[in-house]
Structure 1
Amino acid sequence: MITSGANTYTGATNIDAGTLRLDASSSLPSGTAVTIASGSTLDLNSYSNSIGSLSGAGTLDLGGGTLTIGSGGASSTFAGSFVGGDTGTFAKAGTGTLTFGAGMTLSAGSLVLSGGTLDLGGYSSSFGSLSVTADSILDFGAGSGSTLSVLNSLTINSGVTLTVRNWTDAVDYFVSLIDPGATTLGRIVFTGFSSTDTKWHSYDNQITPVPEPSTYGIALLSICSLVVGWRRRRVLGSRTD
Protein backbone atom coordinates (compact mmCIF):
# COMPACT_ATOMS: atom_id res chain seq x y z
CA MET A 1 0.00 0.00 0.00
CA ILE A 2 1.30 3.48 -0.90
CA THR A 3 0.18 6.59 0.94
CA SER A 4 -0.97 9.64 -0.98
CA GLY A 5 0.52 12.99 0.04
CA ALA A 6 0.40 14.49 3.51
CA ASN A 7 -2.23 13.19 5.91
CA THR A 8 -3.98 14.81 8.86
CA TYR A 9 -6.14 11.98 10.17
CA THR A 10 -6.29 11.37 13.90
CA GLY A 11 -5.81 8.10 15.71
CA ALA A 12 -3.37 5.22 15.42
CA THR A 13 -1.62 3.81 12.37
CA ASN A 14 -1.57 0.01 12.41
CA ILE A 15 0.36 -1.95 9.79
CA ASP A 16 -0.95 -5.48 10.24
CA ALA A 17 0.26 -7.06 6.99
CA GLY A 18 2.33 -6.27 3.92
CA THR A 19 4.17 -2.98 3.37
CA LEU A 20 3.07 0.60 3.89
CA ARG A 21 5.21 2.80 1.61
CA LEU A 22 5.22 6.56 2.08
CA ASP A 23 5.19 8.88 -0.92
CA ALA A 24 5.76 12.22 0.81
CA SER A 25 7.02 13.86 3.96
CA SER A 26 4.25 14.02 6.58
CA SER A 27 2.49 11.06 5.00
CA LEU A 28 2.02 9.97 8.59
CA PRO A 29 0.27 12.55 10.79
CA SER A 30 2.45 14.05 13.48
CA GLY A 31 1.60 12.42 16.78
CA THR A 32 0.12 9.21 15.40
CA ALA A 33 0.95 5.99 17.26
CA VAL A 34 2.46 3.58 14.73
CA THR A 35 2.42 -0.19 15.25
CA ILE A 36 4.25 -2.45 12.80
CA ALA A 37 3.12 -6.04 13.26
CA SER A 38 5.57 -8.91 12.89
CA GLY A 39 6.01 -9.70 9.21
CA SER A 40 4.94 -6.20 8.13
CA THR A 41 7.03 -3.25 6.92
CA LEU A 42 6.93 0.53 7.13
CA ASP A 43 8.93 1.91 4.19
CA LEU A 44 9.84 5.60 4.52
CA ASN A 45 10.93 5.60 0.87
CA SER A 46 13.54 8.32 1.60
CA TYR A 47 10.99 10.71 3.15
CA SER A 48 10.99 12.31 6.61
CA ASN A 49 8.13 11.82 9.05
CA SER A 50 7.47 12.58 12.72
CA ILE A 51 5.22 10.30 14.77
CA GLY A 52 4.05 10.01 18.35
CA SER A 53 5.27 6.49 19.09
CA LEU A 54 6.58 3.33 17.45
CA SER A 55 5.79 -0.20 18.59
CA GLY A 56 5.51 -3.73 17.26
CA ALA A 57 7.94 -6.36 16.00
CA GLY A 58 7.90 -5.61 12.29
CA THR A 59 10.43 -4.03 9.92
CA LEU A 60 11.31 -0.36 9.52
CA ASP A 61 12.83 0.51 6.14
CA LEU A 62 14.28 3.98 6.56
CA GLY A 63 15.41 4.00 2.94
CA GLY A 64 17.54 7.10 3.44
CA GLY A 65 14.71 8.96 5.17
CA THR A 66 14.25 10.19 8.74
CA LEU A 67 11.76 8.93 11.31
CA THR A 68 11.36 11.06 14.43
CA ILE A 69 9.59 9.36 17.32
CA GLY A 70 8.10 10.76 20.51
CA SER A 71 6.23 13.93 19.64
CA GLY A 72 3.76 14.58 22.43
CA GLY A 73 5.84 12.73 25.01
CA ALA A 74 4.46 9.25 24.34
CA SER A 75 6.39 6.12 25.42
CA SER A 76 6.59 2.82 23.55
CA THR A 77 8.62 -0.33 22.85
CA PHE A 78 9.88 -1.30 19.41
CA ALA A 79 11.06 -4.90 18.98
CA GLY A 80 11.46 -4.93 15.21
CA SER A 81 14.43 -4.37 12.91
CA PHE A 82 15.91 -2.02 10.31
CA VAL A 83 16.40 -2.76 6.62
CA GLY A 84 17.13 -0.67 3.55
CA GLY A 85 20.88 -0.55 3.23
CA ASP A 86 21.34 0.54 6.84
CA THR A 87 20.94 4.19 5.84
CA GLY A 88 18.72 6.95 7.13
CA THR A 89 18.12 8.61 10.48
CA PHE A 90 16.28 7.25 13.49
CA ALA A 91 15.48 10.08 15.92
CA LYS A 92 14.13 10.05 19.48
CA ALA A 93 12.39 13.26 20.56
CA GLY A 94 9.91 14.33 23.23
CA THR A 95 9.85 13.56 26.94
CA GLY A 96 8.77 9.92 26.79
CA THR A 97 10.76 6.69 26.72
CA LEU A 98 11.50 4.57 23.67
CA THR A 99 12.54 1.05 24.64
CA PHE A 100 14.30 -1.31 22.27
CA GLY A 101 12.77 -4.77 22.56
CA ALA A 102 15.46 -6.22 20.30
CA GLY A 103 18.94 -5.39 19.05
CA MET A 104 19.00 -2.65 16.40
CA THR A 105 21.60 -2.28 13.65
CA LEU A 106 21.90 0.80 11.44
CA SER A 107 25.57 0.66 10.52
CA ALA A 108 25.51 3.43 7.91
CA GLY A 109 22.74 5.45 9.51
CA SER A 110 22.30 7.89 12.36
CA LEU A 111 20.74 7.79 15.80
CA VAL A 112 19.63 11.22 17.00
CA LEU A 113 18.58 11.88 20.60
CA SER A 114 16.59 15.08 21.05
CA GLY A 115 14.96 14.53 24.43
CA GLY A 116 13.46 11.92 26.69
CA THR A 117 14.91 8.47 27.29
CA LEU A 118 16.25 5.75 25.02
CA ASP A 119 16.19 2.42 26.88
CA LEU A 120 18.43 -0.22 25.26
CA GLY A 121 16.36 -2.94 26.92
CA GLY A 122 19.23 -5.34 27.57
CA TYR A 123 20.12 -5.70 23.88
CA SER A 124 23.09 -4.81 21.66
CA SER A 125 22.57 -2.07 19.08
CA SER A 126 24.93 -0.32 16.69
CA PHE A 127 24.64 2.89 14.67
CA GLY A 128 26.90 4.65 12.23
CA SER A 129 26.69 7.87 14.21
CA LEU A 130 25.12 9.25 17.37
CA SER A 131 24.07 12.89 17.65
CA VAL A 132 22.58 14.38 20.81
CA THR A 133 20.83 17.69 20.14
CA ALA A 134 18.91 18.18 23.42
CA ASP A 135 19.26 16.89 26.97
CA SER A 136 18.58 13.15 26.82
CA ILE A 137 18.93 9.96 28.84
CA LEU A 138 20.60 6.78 27.60
CA ASP A 139 19.31 3.96 29.80
CA PHE A 140 21.16 0.65 29.73
CA GLY A 141 18.21 -0.92 31.53
CA ALA A 142 17.96 -3.40 34.35
CA GLY A 143 18.87 -7.07 34.11
CA SER A 144 21.03 -8.47 31.32
CA GLY A 145 23.78 -6.34 29.79
CA SER A 146 23.23 -3.80 27.03
CA THR A 147 25.67 -2.54 24.41
CA LEU A 148 25.52 0.62 22.31
CA SER A 149 28.17 0.80 19.58
CA VAL A 150 28.85 3.99 17.63
CA LEU A 151 30.84 3.18 14.52
CA ASN A 152 31.80 6.52 12.99
CA SER A 153 31.03 9.69 14.97
CA LEU A 154 29.59 10.81 18.29
CA THR A 155 28.59 14.45 18.71
CA ILE A 156 26.76 16.34 21.46
CA ASN A 157 25.63 19.93 20.99
CA SER A 158 27.04 22.69 23.16
CA GLY A 159 25.07 23.11 26.38
CA VAL A 160 23.53 19.65 26.04
CA THR A 161 24.01 16.72 28.44
CA LEU A 162 23.68 13.02 27.72
CA THR A 163 22.93 11.26 31.01
CA VAL A 164 23.85 7.57 31.12
CA ARG A 165 21.69 5.59 33.53
CA ASN A 166 21.70 2.00 34.84
CA TRP A 167 25.19 1.34 33.47
CA THR A 168 27.15 -1.46 35.19
CA ASP A 169 30.88 -1.96 34.66
CA ALA A 170 31.82 -5.18 32.81
CA VAL A 171 28.12 -5.85 32.15
CA ASP A 172 27.07 -2.92 29.95
CA TYR A 173 29.16 -1.43 27.15
CA PHE A 174 29.08 2.06 25.62
CA VAL A 175 31.43 1.77 22.65
CA SER A 176 32.73 4.40 20.23
CA LEU A 177 35.16 3.23 17.56
CA ILE A 178 36.35 6.84 17.16
CA ASP A 179 37.67 8.99 20.02
CA PRO A 180 34.84 11.51 20.64
CA GLY A 181 37.28 14.03 22.11
CA ALA A 182 37.41 15.73 25.49
CA THR A 183 34.72 18.31 24.70
CA THR A 184 32.12 15.70 23.78
CA LEU A 185 33.10 13.41 26.66
CA GLY A 186 32.61 16.33 29.04
CA ARG A 187 28.95 16.40 28.02
CA ILE A 188 28.36 12.76 28.99
CA VAL A 189 27.46 12.14 32.63
CA PHE A 190 27.11 8.68 34.15
CA THR A 191 24.69 8.56 37.08
CA GLY A 192 26.69 8.78 40.31
CA PHE A 193 29.68 10.44 38.64
CA SER A 194 30.56 13.88 37.32
CA SER A 195 31.18 14.89 33.72
CA THR A 196 34.93 15.12 34.39
CA ASP A 197 34.93 11.39 35.17
CA THR A 198 33.91 10.33 31.65
CA LYS A 199 36.76 8.88 29.60
CA TRP A 200 37.27 7.05 26.30
CA HIS A 201 39.67 4.11 26.36
CA SER A 202 41.67 3.45 23.19
CA TYR A 203 42.46 -0.15 24.13
CA ASP A 204 38.82 -1.30 24.00
CA ASN A 205 36.99 1.77 22.58
CA GLN A 206 34.74 1.99 25.64
CA ILE A 207 33.33 5.13 27.20
CA THR A 208 33.22 4.72 30.98
CA PRO A 209 33.25 6.81 34.15
CA VAL A 210 36.72 6.94 35.71
CA PRO A 211 36.96 8.78 39.04
CA GLU A 212 39.60 11.48 39.27
CA PRO A 213 42.90 10.59 41.02
CA SER A 214 41.79 12.62 44.04
CA THR A 215 38.90 10.21 44.50
CA TYR A 216 41.29 7.28 44.65
CA GLY A 217 43.48 9.29 47.04
CA ILE A 218 40.61 9.82 49.45
CA ALA A 219 39.72 6.13 49.31
CA LEU A 220 43.34 5.13 49.90
CA LEU A 221 43.62 7.58 52.81
CA SER A 222 40.51 6.04 54.38
CA ILE A 223 41.99 2.55 54.06
CA CYS A 224 45.29 3.70 55.56
CA SER A 225 43.45 5.29 58.48
CA LEU A 226 41.64 2.02 59.16
CA VAL A 227 44.92 0.09 59.07
CA VAL A 228 46.64 2.57 61.40
CA GLY A 229 43.72 2.41 63.83
CA TRP A 230 43.79 -1.40 63.79
CA ARG A 231 47.54 -1.50 64.46
CA ARG A 232 47.21 0.98 67.34
CA ARG A 233 44.52 -1.16 68.93
CA ARG A 234 46.76 -4.21 68.64
CA VAL A 235 49.70 -2.38 70.23
CA LEU A 236 47.58 -1.09 73.10
CA GLY A 237 46.10 -4.53 73.57
CA SER A 238 49.53 -6.15 73.79
CA ARG A 239 50.67 -3.63 76.42
CA THR A 240 47.78 -4.52 78.69
CA ASP A 241 48.45 -8.28 78.49
Structure 2
Amino acid sequence: MTFYAINGSPRKRGNTAVLLDKALQGVKDVIPDADTKIIHVYDYSYTGCVSCYACKRKGGKYYGRCAKKDAISSLLPELSQADGLIIGSPVYFHSLTGQLQAFLERLLYPYLAYGKEYYSIAPKHMPVAFVYTMNATEEKAQQMNYQIKLSPMEEYAGVVFSPPAVLYCYDTCQFDDYKRYMAQRFSEEKKLQRRQEHFPIDCENARGMGRAMAQKITGQNPTAEGSPGRI
Protein backbone atom coordinates (compact mmCIF):
# COMPACT_ATOMS: atom_id res chain seq x y z
CA MET A 1 0.00 0.00 0.00
CA THR A 2 1.21 3.49 -0.84
CA PHE A 3 0.29 6.69 0.96
CA TYR A 4 1.37 10.16 -0.15
CA ALA A 5 1.71 13.42 1.72
CA ILE A 6 1.66 16.53 -0.47
CA ASN A 7 3.54 19.42 1.11
CA GLY A 8 2.19 22.72 -0.17
CA SER A 9 4.73 24.74 1.82
CA PRO A 10 8.02 26.00 0.41
CA ARG A 11 9.65 24.83 3.66
CA LYS A 12 10.71 21.20 3.85
CA ARG A 13 11.18 21.29 7.64
CA GLY A 14 8.50 23.78 8.61
CA ASN A 15 5.30 23.30 10.57
CA THR A 16 3.34 21.84 7.66
CA ALA A 17 6.07 19.37 6.74
CA VAL A 18 6.41 18.23 10.36
CA LEU A 19 2.68 17.54 10.64
CA LEU A 20 2.63 15.66 7.34
CA ASP A 21 5.53 13.51 8.53
CA LYS A 22 3.63 12.76 11.75
CA ALA A 23 0.56 11.79 9.71
CA LEU A 24 2.64 9.35 7.67
CA GLN A 25 4.05 7.95 10.93
CA GLY A 26 0.44 7.35 11.96
CA VAL A 27 -0.14 5.35 8.79
CA LYS A 28 2.91 3.25 9.66
CA ASP A 29 1.55 2.68 13.18
CA VAL A 30 -1.27 0.69 11.61
CA ILE A 31 0.39 -0.62 8.43
CA PRO A 32 4.13 -0.99 9.23
CA ASP A 33 5.05 -2.09 5.72
CA ALA A 34 3.15 0.74 4.00
CA ASP A 35 5.12 2.73 1.45
CA THR A 36 4.90 6.39 2.51
CA LYS A 37 6.16 9.27 0.38
CA ILE A 38 6.16 13.04 0.77
CA ILE A 39 5.98 15.30 -2.27
CA HIS A 40 7.31 18.85 -1.91
CA VAL A 41 5.42 20.74 -4.61
CA TYR A 42 7.94 23.59 -4.62
CA ASP A 43 10.54 21.14 -5.97
CA TYR A 44 8.67 21.02 -9.30
CA SER A 45 8.23 23.52 -12.11
CA TYR A 46 4.67 23.48 -13.43
CA THR A 47 1.54 25.55 -13.99
CA GLY A 48 -2.03 25.13 -12.91
CA CYS A 49 -4.81 24.09 -15.27
CA VAL A 50 -4.53 25.84 -18.68
CA SER A 51 -8.19 25.26 -19.68
CA CYS A 52 -7.37 23.18 -22.75
CA TYR A 53 -10.31 20.88 -21.88
CA ALA A 54 -8.55 17.86 -23.37
CA CYS A 55 -9.51 15.96 -20.21
CA LYS A 56 -13.20 16.59 -21.00
CA ARG A 57 -13.20 15.82 -24.74
CA LYS A 58 -15.41 12.78 -25.39
CA GLY A 59 -13.41 10.01 -27.00
CA GLY A 60 -10.29 12.11 -26.90
CA LYS A 61 -6.79 10.84 -26.26
CA TYR A 62 -6.62 12.57 -22.88
CA TYR A 63 -10.18 12.11 -21.65
CA GLY A 64 -10.05 11.84 -17.86
CA ARG A 65 -6.39 12.80 -17.55
CA CYS A 66 -4.31 15.94 -17.78
CA ALA A 67 -2.78 16.65 -21.20
CA LYS A 68 -0.40 19.33 -19.98
CA LYS A 69 3.25 18.22 -20.20
CA ASP A 70 5.64 19.46 -17.55
CA ALA A 71 7.45 18.33 -14.38
CA ILE A 72 4.37 16.81 -12.69
CA SER A 73 2.86 15.03 -15.71
CA SER A 74 4.10 11.59 -14.66
CA LEU A 75 3.39 12.23 -10.99
CA LEU A 76 -0.35 12.89 -11.33
CA PRO A 77 -1.37 9.40 -12.53
CA GLU A 78 0.85 7.90 -9.83
CA LEU A 79 -1.08 9.83 -7.18
CA SER A 80 -4.40 8.69 -8.63
CA GLN A 81 -3.44 5.11 -7.74
CA ALA A 82 -2.52 5.87 -4.11
CA ASP A 83 -4.20 4.27 -1.13
CA GLY A 84 -4.42 7.59 0.68
CA LEU A 85 -3.52 11.27 0.25
CA ILE A 86 -2.67 13.76 2.99
CA ILE A 87 -2.52 17.33 1.71
CA GLY A 88 -0.88 20.08 3.75
CA SER A 89 -0.65 23.83 3.32
CA PRO A 90 0.20 26.93 5.30
CA VAL A 91 -2.49 29.57 4.97
CA TYR A 92 -1.41 32.41 2.66
CA PHE A 93 -3.80 35.34 2.26
CA HIS A 94 -6.73 33.29 3.63
CA SER A 95 -6.13 30.40 1.22
CA LEU A 96 -3.88 27.57 0.14
CA THR A 97 -0.46 28.43 -1.23
CA GLY A 98 -0.58 29.26 -4.94
CA GLN A 99 1.73 26.37 -5.75
CA LEU A 100 -0.53 23.85 -4.06
CA GLN A 101 -3.65 25.36 -5.60
CA ALA A 102 -2.12 24.89 -9.05
CA PHE A 103 -1.08 21.33 -8.22
CA LEU A 104 -4.58 20.36 -7.05
CA GLU A 105 -6.16 21.93 -10.13
CA ARG A 106 -4.11 19.56 -12.24
CA LEU A 107 -4.73 16.55 -10.01
CA LEU A 108 -8.48 16.89 -9.44
CA TYR A 109 -9.97 18.60 -12.49
CA PRO A 110 -9.47 15.77 -15.04
CA TYR A 111 -11.48 13.41 -12.81
CA LEU A 112 -14.34 15.84 -12.18
CA ALA A 113 -17.05 14.94 -14.70
CA TYR A 114 -19.68 17.45 -15.77
CA GLY A 115 -22.88 15.46 -15.36
CA LYS A 116 -26.10 17.07 -14.18
CA GLU A 117 -24.29 16.79 -10.88
CA TYR A 118 -20.51 16.59 -10.51
CA TYR A 119 -19.29 13.01 -10.32
CA SER A 120 -15.91 11.32 -10.32
CA ILE A 121 -14.20 9.33 -13.04
CA ALA A 122 -11.05 8.84 -10.97
CA PRO A 123 -9.55 5.37 -11.43
CA LYS A 124 -9.54 4.83 -7.67
CA HIS A 125 -11.32 6.23 -4.63
CA MET A 126 -9.24 6.69 -1.50
CA PRO A 127 -9.27 8.45 1.88
CA VAL A 128 -8.06 12.05 1.83
CA ALA A 129 -7.03 14.47 4.57
CA PHE A 130 -6.16 18.17 4.66
CA VAL A 131 -3.77 19.75 7.17
CA TYR A 132 -3.59 23.53 7.53
CA THR A 133 -1.06 25.60 9.47
CA MET A 134 -1.53 29.31 10.16
CA ASN A 135 -0.28 32.12 12.36
CA ALA A 136 -3.88 33.12 13.14
CA THR A 137 -5.31 32.09 16.49
CA GLU A 138 -8.33 29.80 16.53
CA GLU A 139 -10.53 32.73 17.51
CA LYS A 140 -9.22 34.88 14.64
CA ALA A 141 -9.58 32.02 12.16
CA GLN A 142 -13.21 31.62 13.16
CA GLN A 143 -13.82 35.38 12.84
CA MET A 144 -12.39 35.28 9.30
CA ASN A 145 -14.46 32.20 8.34
CA TYR A 146 -11.43 30.08 7.50
CA GLN A 147 -13.50 26.91 7.64
CA ILE A 148 -15.47 28.24 4.67
CA LYS A 149 -12.60 29.99 2.87
CA LEU A 150 -10.42 26.87 2.94
CA SER A 151 -13.17 24.44 1.98
CA PRO A 152 -13.42 24.63 -1.86
CA MET A 153 -10.57 22.20 -2.59
CA GLU A 154 -11.83 19.95 0.20
CA GLU A 155 -15.19 19.85 -1.57
CA TYR A 156 -13.71 18.88 -4.94
CA ALA A 157 -11.36 16.33 -3.37
CA GLY A 158 -14.43 14.90 -1.69
CA VAL A 159 -16.22 14.49 -5.00
CA VAL A 160 -13.20 13.02 -6.78
CA PHE A 161 -11.77 10.74 -4.07
CA SER A 162 -13.73 10.83 -0.77
CA PRO A 163 -14.89 13.35 1.87
CA PRO A 164 -11.72 14.46 3.66
CA ALA A 165 -10.69 14.65 7.28
CA VAL A 166 -9.40 18.12 8.21
CA LEU A 167 -6.86 19.31 10.80
CA TYR A 168 -6.21 22.95 11.67
CA CYS A 169 -3.00 24.00 13.41
CA TYR A 170 -3.37 27.54 14.81
CA ASP A 171 -1.01 30.26 16.02
CA THR A 172 2.19 28.72 14.67
CA CYS A 173 5.72 30.10 14.87
CA GLN A 174 6.80 31.68 11.60
CA PHE A 175 10.40 32.59 12.45
CA ASP A 176 13.28 31.05 14.34
CA ASP A 177 14.15 34.43 15.81
CA TYR A 178 11.40 37.06 15.76
CA LYS A 179 13.86 39.87 16.63
CA ARG A 180 15.43 39.55 13.18
CA TYR A 181 12.17 40.36 11.38
CA MET A 182 9.64 43.17 11.23
CA ALA A 183 6.82 41.39 13.04
CA GLN A 184 5.63 43.69 15.80
CA ARG A 185 2.08 42.34 15.76
CA PHE A 186 3.36 39.03 17.20
CA SER A 187 4.81 38.28 20.62
CA GLU A 188 7.83 36.00 20.32
CA GLU A 189 7.38 34.90 23.93
CA LYS A 190 3.74 33.90 23.38
CA LYS A 191 4.51 32.25 20.05
CA LEU A 192 7.26 30.11 21.57
CA GLN A 193 5.10 29.23 24.55
CA ARG A 194 2.27 28.20 22.23
CA ARG A 195 4.66 26.06 20.20
CA GLN A 196 6.03 24.37 23.30
CA GLU A 197 2.62 23.70 24.82
CA HIS A 198 0.37 23.03 21.84
CA PHE A 199 2.39 21.98 18.81
CA PRO A 200 3.01 18.52 20.32
CA ILE A 201 -0.78 18.15 20.54
CA ASP A 202 -1.08 19.16 16.88
CA CYS A 203 1.56 16.55 16.03
CA GLU A 204 -0.33 13.84 17.87
CA ASN A 205 -3.57 14.86 16.17
CA ALA A 206 -1.81 14.58 12.80
CA ARG A 207 -0.50 11.15 13.74
CA GLY A 208 -4.01 10.15 14.78
CA MET A 209 -5.30 11.35 11.42
CA GLY A 210 -2.80 9.07 9.69
CA ARG A 211 -3.76 6.14 11.89
CA ALA A 212 -7.43 6.69 11.13
CA MET A 213 -6.73 6.79 7.39
CA ALA A 214 -4.85 3.50 7.57
CA GLN A 215 -7.53 1.95 9.77
CA LYS A 216 -10.15 2.89 7.21
CA ILE A 217 -8.18 1.13 4.48
CA THR A 218 -7.69 -1.99 6.58
CA GLY A 219 -11.34 -2.15 7.63
CA GLN A 220 -10.77 -1.22 11.27
CA ASN A 221 -12.89 1.31 13.11
CA PRO A 222 -11.08 4.67 12.80
CA THR A 223 -10.17 6.42 16.02
CA ALA A 224 -12.27 9.50 16.71
CA GLU A 225 -9.30 11.90 16.58
CA GLY A 226 -8.63 11.26 12.94
CA SER A 227 -12.03 10.39 11.57
CA PRO A 228 -13.40 12.47 8.69
CA GLY A 229 -14.37 15.80 10.18
CA ARG A 230 -12.54 18.82 11.59
CA ILE A 231 -9.99 19.02 14.38
User: Which structure carries more relative contact order (alpha carbon 8 Å, separation 6+)?
Assistant: 2
Q: Which of the pair has more CA radius of gyration?
A: 1
The answer to whether TM tops 0.5 is: no
TM bucket, shorter chain: under 0.3
**Structure-1-length-normalised TM-score:** 0.25
| TM-score (normalised: structure 2) | 0.26
